Amino acid sequence: MAREMTDVRLDVGGASQARPGSAAAAFRPSEPVAIEVENLSLWYGKKRALTNVSLAIPRNRVTALIGPSGCGKSTLLRCLNRMNDLIPGVRIEGTVRYHGVDIYGKDVDPVEVRRRIGMVFQKPNPFPKSIYDNVAFGARVNGYRGNLDELVERCLRRAALWDEVKDDLKKSGLALSGGQQQRLCIARALANDPDVILMDEPCSALDPIATLKIEDLMRELAEQYTIVIVTHNMQQAARVSDYTAFLLTDEETPGQLIEYAPTQELFTRPKDRRTEDYIRGRFG
């Protein structure tokens, strides 16, 4: 299902000669890599959403994906833990290697991939269950054998939520404020002991103070986890990320990687004019 290589292959070959921005996009961080995306293309039915994206995501760093709406950054993020498999009519070409293993490979089970590569969504989506059960769910379905109480406390502490909820673990997760809900979702993701955490615009539904807390948390978590974040907010990318990738959809090529560089560099000395236009606020 994942990869059919029929007529579209030819199309790709033709386009790849003039792959836009490939010089700037060819940057590769000189540190250990957690996820390596290679020539990734994706179609929703007949509509193409990603075109030949290649980038290496370094371990224990925060990597930001930025770009205007519809540029494919969320799509790219959802490819990294095979969440796109759940959408009917999706077709993917290329490889995504997680510590060297192609997660779209033959013997790979998407459930195992998602256990190791966790995800936090744009709108906080706690289960309509207690705070405790929210955090314990991932561990339970994955057959965790240790002490659940300890695990729940550890994850809530790590997500900087413990002090606010420790007396109320039976309360519904939906009774929390938006920012707390999002930290609950982060705690929930941590309970699986993942290695990578994907965050899809995790602050876009939050107020500035809650946003700040999540950003602080991201910096902290980066010491132990590899974090990939999609964001609309360029200041946020500049504040929290170590590396930034800029994606763009134009008339000819949907979802292309224009430029990928250390965050500092991309924001101060963009190599591509389109990157510069975007970060200067000339479009998007």
Partner 1 sequence: MALEMERPAAGAPSLRATGRVARRQALSRASYWVLFAVAVSGLGVLAFLAYDTIQLGGARLVHDWPSFLTNYASRFPERAGVRAAVLGTAWVIGLTVLFTVPVGVGTAIWLEEFAPRNRLVQVVRLNISNLAGVPSIIYGILGLALFSRLLGLGPSILTGALTLSLMVLPIVVITSSEAIRQVPSSIRDASFALGATRWQTVWHHVLPGAVPGIMTGVILAVSRAIGEAAALIMIGAFAFVSFDPVSWRDRFTVLPIQIYDWTLRPGELFKPEAAAAIIVLMAVVLTLNLTAAYVRQRFRQD
Position 227 contacts partner 1 (CB under 8 A): no
Cβ atoms of residues 202 and 182 within 8 Å? yes
Residue 180 three-state SS = helix
Cβ atoms of residues 256 and 21 within 8 Å? yes
Q: CA quadruple 110, 116, 122, 123: dihedral positive or negative?
A: positive
Q: Which of residues 93-112 bind partner 1 (CB under 8 A)?
A: 111-112
Task: Using CB under 8 A, count the residues that bind partner 1.
Answer: 29
Position 238 contacts partner 1 (CB under 8 A): no
Task: Figure out which of the listed residues 127, 157, 164, 233 binds partner 1, where binding follows CB under 8 A.
Answer: 127
Q: Which of residues 184-213 bind partner 1 (CB under 8 A)?
A: 185, 188-189, 191-192
Pairing of strands 101-102, 117-120: unpaired
Task: Figure out which of the listed residues 88, 146, 208, 281 binds partner 1, where binding follows CB under 8 A.
Answer: 88
- Token pair 């955090």: residue: 135
Q: What are the helix (H) ranges across 142-258?
A: 148-158, 162-165, 178-190, 208-221, 234-240
Position 130 contacts partner 1 (CB under 8 A): no
Position 22 contacts partner 1 (CB under 8 A): no
Cβ atoms of residues 244 and 267 within 8 Å? yes
Position 154 contacts partner 1 (CB under 8 A): no
Q: What is the DSSP letter of 86?
A: G
Site string for partner 1, 163-182 (x = CB under 8 A): ---------x-x--------
Question: Could you list the residues that contact partner 1 (CB under 8 A)?
Answer: 81, 83, 86, 88-89, 111-112, 114-115, 118-119, 121, 123, 125-129, 137-138, 141-142, 172, 174, 185, 188-189, 191-192
